[in-house]
């Protein structure tokens, strides 16, 4: 053990008595003694441990090490997750009230940044991989056309890799964006492992992006909420980044989290953690080669879309054209086989795999899928499982294009009222509506609700997916006819 964790351990073992925060004093009560081990390393900003918001010692050294390992000019430790990094990056790059180009499949934290800075987003909608119903990459020519069509853009914001593992051509997009003299922000929260093994695509940090946000905890051995914000190039004011980072992060950063970040970076620096991961993946693909109805998208997804690359660490398992939904498969894997997957969507489920997965886990997943596949029937008419008449046209259209009636920053705080969802077509939304996970809005405040998006929301609710932003009326049982949505008065 080295670095921050080593210093924390030495302090915990020393004779120094803690007349400082936190209040547990490294002496947890018996009732919550399960946290005793963590409490030993849990301190505040005391002598010799630096200050994350004005680093000069061990935290500055740790951040400089991270920048060197990831290939950035400067790297900031984030203890409030990638959300804090997104808020910081967008706020630093885009002046208040400016226009920004935004991929529509960005996480809701991007929209929150637009709200806080009163930005006017110009949306880029990804195409859909029709065979599987997932969003494809943002194409370089889309970005180029938008920059030509819309004047005075302050920044471009895209997500790569996406929650599904789809990778855009960051190098080409960065070149196009930089010709106009503005920065490219990449939400790479799901790509902290990129660039460290031939199994994965190159990191956007090394492909020209100016601001890159990565969650260590999502795909690497680090505690939840740990993330990094990387800054490169001359287009973003570094002092502005520092100012906003101090605003959006807690003034009491956890040393458990900074120690976890530092330890993870040191592990990546050694470069030994990827051994055997490819063998585990190959074993899974060999075991699932006999699937007849359920499909592992990773086998051929690159052939069906325009994406630059695909993340091998995301297993996307499709039930499209079968008599079951993604949520049915998700619940079956959990309740019958004790396998907890990352997410369920309407026609697929997502499993995240990393080098720290055990071979036994991947074998259990493969065997479970084979058994369920043998029991699964395929729709004879080609319709997706459990779709009502007319709903089959909705699958494969994850982000309907909606018109903006009122800017986001005005709509979110405007007077609102509830309206039955089925009567909301033509009304202006007063809230976000999204599936969670992944937290990507189907509707944002200020957009005009359409019949198409109403049907999509109803289909998701009927399939018992976690839809945020619609509510049941009174004591209803959750039938789609009882759903209400917030609209502007």
Q: Which CATH number covers residue 418?
A: 3.90.100.10
CA 218 from chain centre, in angstroms, equals 9
Question: Would residue 394 count as lying in a domain?
Answer: no
The whole-chain average pLDDT of the chain stands at 94
Q: What are phi and psi of 169, to 5 degrees?
A: -80, 80
The Cα 242–Cα 244 span in angstroms is: 6
In terms of DSSP H, where are the helices of 161-227?
170-179, 216-219
Same domain for 114 and 260, yes or no, is yes
Question: Would residue 125 count as lying in a domain?
Answer: yes
Q: Which CA distances in Å does 313 have to 150, 310, 345? A: 36, 9, 18
Same domain for 238 and 339, yes or no, is no
Boundary-marking domain end, from 270, 302, 334: 270
Same domain for 415 and 329, yes or no, is no
Same domain for 138 and 265, yes or no, is yes
Buried b (16+ CB within 10 A) or exposed e, 319-335: bbbbbbbbbbbbbbbee
Number of domains within the chain: 3
The Cα 252–Cα 468 span in angstroms is: 30
Dihedral of CA atoms 55, 61, 67, 70 in degrees, nearest 10, equals -130
Same domain for 342 and 200, yes or no, is no
The Cα 203–Cα 251 span in angstroms is: 30
Dihedral of CA atoms 214, 219, 223, 229 in degrees, nearest 10, equals -10
Per-residue confidence band for 477, with pLDDT thresholds at 50, 70 and 90: low
Q: Are residues 372 and 294 in contact, defined by beta-carbon separation less than 8 angstroms?
A: yes
Q: Where are the beta strands (DSSP E) in 145-303?
A: 153-159, 166-167, 184-187, 211-215, 227-231, 295-296
Question: Would residue 67 count as lying in a domain?
Answer: yes
Q: Are residues 285 and 363 in contact, defined by beta-carbon separation less than 8 angstroms?
A: no
- What CATH number has the domain bearing residue 370? 3.90.1150.10
Q: What are phi and psi of 91, to 5 degrees?
A: -65, -40
Same domain for 484 and 429, yes or no, is yes
Mean pLDDT (whole number) for 365-377 = 96
Q: Cβ contacts of residue 110 below 8 Å, gap of 6+?
A: 86, 90, 102, 157, 187
Q: Cβ contacts of residue 438 below 8 Å, gap of 6+?
A: 107, 163, 343
**Tens digits of per-residue pLDDT, 38-88?**
999 999 999 999 999 999 999 999 999 999 999 999 999 999 999 999 999
CB atoms within 10 A of CB 437: 14
**Tens digits of per-residue pLDDT, 277-305?**
999 999 999 999 999 999 999 999 999 99
pLDDT at 427: 98
Question: Would residue 89 count as lying in a domain?
Answer: yes
Q: Which CA distances in Å does 389 have to 131, 358, 378, 381, 384? A: 19, 43, 17, 12, 11
Mean pLDDT (whole number) for 194-214 = 97
Question: Would residue 436 count as lying in a domain?
Answer: yes
**Tens digits of per-residue pLDDT, 136-171?**
999 999 999 999 999 999 999 999 999 999 999 999
Question: Is the pLDDT assigned to residue 377 strictly greater than 90?
Answer: no
pLDDT at 274: 93
Question: Would residue 401 count as lying in a domain?
Answer: no
Same domain for 198 and 264, yes or no, is yes
Question: Would residue 398 count as lying in a domain?
Answer: no
Question: Would residue 397 count as lying in a domain?
Answer: no
Same domain for 329 and 223, yes or no, is no
pLDDT at 229: 99
- What CATH number has the domain bearing residue 72? 3.40.640.10
Same domain for 284 and 425, yes or no, is no
Same domain for 85 and 105, yes or no, is yes
Q: Are residues 5 and 263 in contact, defined by beta-carbon separation less than 8 angstroms?
A: yes
pLDDT at 382: 44
Q: What are phi and psi of 459, to 5 degrees?
A: -65, -45
Q: What percent of the chain stands above pLDDT 90?
A: 91
Q: Which CA distances in Å does 462 have to 386, 391, 442? A: 9, 11, 16
Same domain for 10 and 153, yes or no, is yes
Q: Are residues 194 and 354 in contact, defined by beta-carbon separation less than 8 angstroms?
A: no
Task: Name the pTM for this structure.
Answer: 0.95
**Tens digits of per-residue pLDDT, 93-127?**
999 999 999 999 999 999 999 999 999 999 999 99
Question: Is the pLDDT assigned to residue 272 strictly greater than 80?
Answer: yes
Beta bridge partners of 322: 378
Edge-first strand listing for the sheet containing 348-352:
295-296, 314-318, 348-352, 343-344
Q: Are residues 140 and 160 in contact, defined by beta-carbon separation less than 8 angstroms?
A: no
Boundary-marking domain end, from 250, 270, 290: 270
Domain hosting residue 471, numbered range: 408-488
pLDDT at 385: 45
Same domain for 175 and 211, yes or no, is yes
Boundary-marking domain end, from 245, 270, 295: 270
pLDDT at 379: 66
Alpha carbons within 13 A on the beta-carbon side of 50? 21
């Amino acid at each position: 053990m080295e670095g921050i964790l080593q210093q924390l351990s030495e302090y915990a073992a020393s004779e120094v008595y803690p007349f400082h925060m936190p209040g547990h004093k490294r002496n947890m009560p018996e009732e919550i003694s399960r946290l005793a081990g963590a409490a030993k390393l849990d301190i505040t900003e005391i002598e010799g441990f630096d200050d994350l918001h004005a680093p000069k010692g061990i935290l500055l050294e740790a951040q400089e090490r991270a920048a060197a390992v990831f290939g950035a000019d400067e790297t900031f430790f984030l203890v409030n997750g990638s959300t804090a990094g997104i808020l910081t990056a967008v706020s630093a790059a885009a002046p208040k009230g400016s226009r920004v180009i935004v991929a529509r499949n960005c996480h809701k934290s991007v929209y929150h940044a637009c709200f806080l800075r009163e930005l006017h987003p110009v949306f880029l909608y990804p195409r859909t991989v029709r065979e599987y119903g997932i969003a494809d990459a943002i194409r370089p020519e889309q970005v180029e056309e938008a920059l030509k069509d819309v004047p005075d853009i302050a920044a471009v914001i895209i997500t790569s890799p996406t929650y599904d593992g789809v990778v855009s051509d960051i190098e080409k997009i960065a070149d196009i964006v930089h010709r106009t003299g503005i920065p490219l922000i990449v939400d790479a929260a799901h790509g902290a492992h990129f660039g460290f093994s031939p199994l994965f695509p190159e990191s956007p940090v090394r492909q020209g992006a100016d601001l890159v946000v990565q969650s260590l905890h999502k795909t690497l051995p680090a505690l939840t909420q740990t993330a990094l914000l990387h800054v490169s190039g001359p287009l973003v004011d570094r002092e502005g980044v520092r100012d906003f980072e101090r605003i959006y992060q807690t003034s009491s950063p956890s040393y458990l989290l900074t120690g976890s970040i530092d330890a993870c970076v040191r592990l990546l620096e050694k470069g030994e953690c990827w051994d055997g991961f490819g063998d585990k993946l190959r074993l899974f693909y060999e075991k699932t080669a006999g699937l007849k109805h359920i499909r592992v998208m990773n086998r051929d997804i690159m052939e069906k879309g325009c994406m630059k690359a695909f993340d091998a660490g995301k297993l996307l398992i499709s039930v499209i054209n079968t008599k079951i939904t993604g949520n049915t498969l998700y619940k079956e894997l959990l309740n019958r086989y004790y396998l907890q997957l990352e997410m369920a969507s309407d026609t697929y489920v997502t499993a995240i795999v990393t080098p720290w997965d055990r071979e036994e886990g991947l074998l259990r997943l493969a065997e479970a899928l084979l058994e369920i596949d043998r029991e699964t029937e395929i729709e004879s008419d080609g319709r997706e499982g459990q779709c009502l008449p007319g709903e089959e046209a909705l699958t494969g259209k994850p982000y309907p294009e909606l018109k903006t009636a009122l800017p986001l920053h005005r709509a979110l705080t405007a007077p609102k009222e509830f309206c039955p969802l089925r009567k909301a077509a033509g009304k202006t939304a007063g809230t976000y509506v999204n599936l969670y996970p992944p937290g990507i809005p189907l509707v944002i405040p200020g957009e005009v609700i359409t019949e198409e998006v109403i049907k999509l929301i109803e289909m998701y609710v009927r399939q018992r997916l976690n839809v945020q932003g619609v509510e049941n009326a009174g004591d209803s049982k959750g039938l789609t006819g009882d759903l209400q949505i917030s609209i502007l008065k």
